[in-house]
Chains A and B, each alone.
Chain A
Amino acid sequence: MTGSHYSRPFQYLIVFIFTLICLYPIVLMIMSSFKKNMEIFQNPFALPRSFNLEPYMKLLEQLPFFTYLLNSLIVSTVSVLLILFCGGLASFYLARFKFSWTGILFFFFLLGLMIPIKLGIVPLFMLMRNLGLTNSLWSLIFMYTATGIPISILILTEFFKTLPKGLEEAARIDGCSDWKIFWVIVLPLMRPALATVAIINFIQAWNDFFFPLIFIQEEAKKTIPVGMLSLFGEYATDWSMLFAGLTLSSLPMIIVFLLASKQFMEGLTSGAVK
């Protein structure tokens, strides 16, 4: 629509260059994982001479990777569901009702975006211990839910404000309760924003390594990033192992993304800003 004919090729060139920059390191990582060490050092850019699966075999033998995967999956999914439930209800309240305290409450939630939560790690550890949640996936689920709520409330509240109120008011005149309005009328309209919140928080929970590092000591309860961490100390000079470990850690998320990239994108684009 904008952009005249002569600048088109130039625009394509820019986009291509940045596509290459974004994708190539990941391609390099996957390719290198099939190479032997000498191959990585001598010609890092060539295609692997043969698909050397040895590092993967070694990895799966040494690390309970599928246990990590399952833990990551449980933690991320449950956290997202809790965030949607808590965040959805709270945002509806903050966006639709004007009490003297809603502004303050909204700001109180937003403060969470600015808190460097790592600082609270010692008190948090004690709290988890008192609740008997150390070495339990619940410690992570509560953590990710709590830290995900602020951004979710910000996004959802902004989104609510852009929804036309007409429908809800009509429903209210018909005598529907707030609860029913929320479930029947508002939620379906919220789908794009909820998708955004779900995706953002899923990625956050899936990729975090700090909390499991502190809360989880049992091998059977570790998530992928932390489970893989020991690898980097142990195989510091075995690059094909390192690349294989990096690839294996990233693979589940990459596959999900490739399958559902449209949902990822749509969720983010339609919900993040009005």
Chain B
Amino acid sequence: MEADIKQKTDIVGKFRGNWKRWLIHLFPIPALLVYVSFVVIPICSAFAYSLFEWRGIQRGQFVGLDNFVRLFTVEPFNWMFWNAFKNNVTYFVIEMIAQNGIAFILAYILYTKIKGAEFFKAAFFLPRILSVIIVGFLWKLILNPNFGALNVLLSKVGLGDWARPWLGDPHTALIAIILVNSWFGLGFAVLIFLAGLQSIPRDVIEAARLDGARGPRLIFFIILPLIVPSITIVTVYTFIHAFEAFELIYAMQGSQGEPYYSTDTLAVYFYRLAFGGSAGDSVAIGLGSALAVVLFLIIASISALFLYLVRKKTVTY
């Protein structure tokens, strides 16, 4: 082998160099193959479904954009769409405040070298390792109006008037689910923020402190701009999760967005259209696929926008 190679001429050597350089193009192939076969192709076929007419689960003829038009112009589909969309936006906004706001505060406290930081981190992160379906069932039991721990607790501490059917009242059901989701995702956000904080060079902070930056000013003008990458990751992540919200709602409220569509989200609505209601009525695969295309466009365009804006704003040091 070795002796062979030594005898090669320069030309062959050059050729071999090229060939080796060509080898590098094999690197992304395995990932590409798996990803294309099990994500891209199935999704494209599913998108194609939105261009056909469906009777039950039987594909009919090609109807172009008819399903999209129906989705946005025919009652009650259009009403359901905007109602679900509104709930998704609520989901995102409350997650940003409740989950990520608190997560930043907690991360900042941990960053300031509090005792037992390792333990606290682990404690915040523990819910995140449970299965969403398990989390949903667990909280459904805790929030049960007459037997659940939360209402029992409230009446024990003399706040019995506050006890309510959390998941049965349309004013509280969605909020309750979002807060459960925040409970689930808090630890992850804490860790991401903490990583961002710890990557700030110490001398930058020291210099700012010498300039007299303290407390809120230090946080808002020095620290936040420096952890823009973490904030972006958390925001995009939260956004995508908020708009794909399905499993938790499914586990806690079923696929009808009960009560009275107050917990309906676009993904739950899609599931209902694509697979029918809980008793197997009214499957509308064409409409469901059209909805999924719209959902995809919303998620993709807004995430891309986030990433684009941030890329322009990232602070380097």
Q: Does A touch B (CB under 8 Å) in the complex?
A: yes
Contacting residues, chain A, for B84 (C-beta < 8 A): none
Complex contact B141–A243 (CB within 8 A): yes
Q: Determine the chain A residues whose CB is within 8 A of the CB of B227 once the complex forms.
A: 273
Report which residue of A206, A242, A254, A261 has the largest number of chain B beta carbons within 10 angstroms of its beta carbon: A261
Closest Cβ neighbor of B153 among chain A residues: A45
Q: Which of A54-62, A121-129, A163-171 contacts B (4 or more CB under 8 A)?
A: A121-129
Output the nearest chain A residue to B26 by Cβ-Cβ distance.
Answer: A89
Question: Which of B61-69, B70-78, B104-112, B161-169 is found at the contact surface with chain A?
Answer: B104-112
Contacts A15-B109, A239-B147 given; does A116 touch B292 at CB 8 Å: yes
With CB as the reference atom, state the residue of chain B lying closest to A89: B27
What are the interface flags for A69-83 relative to B under an 8 Å C-beta threshold, 1 for contact and 0 otherwise?
000000000000010
Q: For B187, give its contact among A22, A44, A150 (CB under 8 Å).
A: A22
Q: B139–A18 contact, CB under 8 A?
A: no
Report the separation of the CA atoms of residues A109 and B31 in the bound assembly, to the nearest whole angstrom: 9
Nearest chain B CB to A235's CB is how many angstroms away?
11
Interface digits, A89-113 against B, CB 8 Å rule (1 contact, 0 not)? 1101110010000000100010111
Q: What 1/0 mask marks residues of chain B from 192 to 214 whose CB sits below 8 Å from any chain A CB? A: 10111011000001000100000
In-complex Cβ contact of A207 among B21, B126, B132, B299 (8 A): B132
| Cβ–Cβ < 8 Å partners of A261 in chain B | 118, 122, 125
List chain A residues, Cβ under 8 A from B205: 1-2
A268 at the interface (CB under 8 A from B): yes
Q: Are A82 and B24 in contact (CB under 8 A)?
A: no
Query: Which residues of chain B from 120 to 135 have a CB within 8 Å of any chain A CB?
Result: 120-134
Whether, in the assembled complex, B191 has its beta carbon less than 8 Å from a beta carbon of chain A, the answer is yes
Question: In the docked arrangement, what's the CA distance between A85 and B24, Å?
Answer: 15
Q: Contacts of B40 on A, CB cut-off 8 Å?
A: 112
Given A1-B113, A229-B133, A273-B196: A116 and B267 interface contact (C-beta under 8 Å): yes
Q: Main secondary structure on chain B at its contact with chain A?
A: helix
The stretch of B2-10, B42-50, B256-264 in contact with A is: B42-50
- The answer to whether B28 touches A105, judged by C-beta atoms less than 8 angstroms apart, is yes
Mark the stretch among B89-97, B170-178, B240-248 that contacts chain A.
B240-248
Q: Which residues of chain A come closer than 8 Å to B276, judged between CB atoms?
A: none
Let me know if A89 and B28 touch, CB within 8 A: yes
How many chain A residues touch the partner (CB < 8 A)? 91
Residues of A within 8 A of B105 (CB): 14
A114-B296, A119-B46 in contact; A86/B31 too (CB < 8 A)? Answer: yes
Judged by DSSP, the binding face of A is helix
CB-based contact A257/B24 at 8 Å: no
Which residues from A are CB-within-8-Å of B299?
114, 116
**Would you call B34 and A82 a contact (CB within 8 A)?**
yes
- Known contacts being A86-B34, A246-B138, A264-B125, is A272 close to B187, with CB within 8 Å? no
A257 touches B195 (CB 8 A): no
- Given the known interface contacts A177-B20, A274-B229, the answer about A119 and B132 at a Cβ–Cβ threshold of 8 Å is no
Return chain B residues, CB-CB under 8 Å to A19. Answer: 120, 123-124
Are A22 and B114 touching (Cβ within 8 A)? no
CA distance A242 to B134 in the complex (A): 10
Chain B residues with CB below 8 A from A239, complex form? 141, 147
CA distance A265 to B122 in the complex (A): 7
- Of the candidates A94, A116, A149, which one forms a contact with B296 in the assembled complex, judged by CB atoms under 8 Å apart? A116
Closest 5 CB pairs of A and B: A146-B38, A120-B42, A207-B131, A86-B31, A93-B27
What are 9 residue pairs bridging A and B, where the CB atoms are less than 8 Å apart in the complex?
A25-B139, A93-B27, A113-B240, A142-B38, A178-B20, A178-B24, A207-B132, A242-B141, A262-B118
- Given contacts A124-B38, A224-B131, A250-B131, could you give 5 more A-B pairs where the C-beta distance is less than 8 Å? A19-B120, A93-B24, A122-B285, A258-B122, A268-B192
